């Protein structure tokens, strides 16, 4: 995996990785200048939970197609992921990195990865629905939070987007609660539809 960078002050303790050849965001247009994805349950099937085994990575439907569309439009892409398994003593940093490497083998390069390694009780500023991960990714890639979108499968993902001033899109799965769907500002049936809606090509 690419070398870690120092997380900004508003996300202390987060793990930040930025690709040295990252995509430069387009200067204009109505589409987001950065799209961030949740990892577990959004890009990958969240089974087993707290996955530290690259061989167990399975992709969600249309994940590759959605990323291909964004890359064709020169929109930077990143991942913002709570990894409380680290704080719970169930995962190591090396395991989190190895799973990220496997995802990049399957889905291509991401411009940034930002992880929260803290347990829920830690009270950190980065664990979603706090805005720290979203703000750190946007800051690292030189994009204003208001020009950023976050796609995830649970309320914490769209909550983090809202707290950061970004646009949130919910792509429900079997674990998404009905109240999270009802409260989401935008809902899409799958990742490809979510991306098309952000690009103004269809409803969400």
- Write the pLDDT tens digit of every residue in 96-127: 999 999 999 999 999 999 999 999 999 999 99
Residue 22 has a pLDDT of 84
Residue identified by tokens 């649970």 is: 154
User: Are residues 36 and 165 in contact, defined by beta-carbon separation less than 8 angstroms?
Assistant: no
**Statement: residue 178 has pLDDT above 90:** yes
Looking at the domain that runs over 4-22+31-198, which CATH code has it been given? 3.40.50.1000
Residue 3 has a pLDDT of 77
**Pairing, β 15-18 against β 112-116:** antiparallel
Q: What percent of the chain has pLDDT over 90?
A: 88
Residues annotated as catalytic are: 38, 40
**Statement: residue 36 has pLDDT above 70:** yes
The string of pLDDT tens digits covering residues 69-92 is 999 999 999 999 999 999 999 999
pTM for this structure?
Answer: 0.96
Residue identified by tokens 């960078």 is: 5
């Amino acid at each position: 995996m690419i070398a870690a960078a120092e997380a900004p002050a508003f996300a202390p303790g987060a793990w930040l990785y930025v690709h040295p050849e990252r995509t430069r965001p387009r200067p204009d247009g109505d589409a987001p200048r950065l799209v961030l994805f949740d990892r577990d349950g959004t890009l990958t099937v969240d089974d087993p939970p707290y996955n530290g085994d690259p061989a167990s990575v399975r992709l969600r439907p249309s994940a590759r197609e959605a990323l291909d569309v964004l890359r064709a439009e020169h929109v930077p892409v990143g991942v913002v992921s709570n990894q409380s398994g680290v704080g719970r003593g169930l995962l190591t940093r090396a395991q989190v990195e190895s799973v990220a490497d496997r995802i990049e083998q399957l889905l291509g390069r991401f411009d940034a990865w930002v992880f929260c390694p803290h347990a829920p009780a830690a009270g950190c500023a980065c664990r979603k629905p706090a805005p720290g991960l979203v703000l750190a990714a946007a800051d690292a890639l030189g994009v204003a939070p208001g020009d950023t979108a976050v796609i995830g499968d649970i309320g914490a993902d769209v909550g983090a987007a809202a707290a950061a001033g970004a646009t949130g899109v919910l792509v429900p799965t079997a674990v998404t609660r009905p109240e999270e769907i009802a409260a989401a500002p935008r809902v899409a049936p799958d990742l490809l539809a979510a991306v098309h809606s952000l690009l103004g090509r269809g409803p969400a």
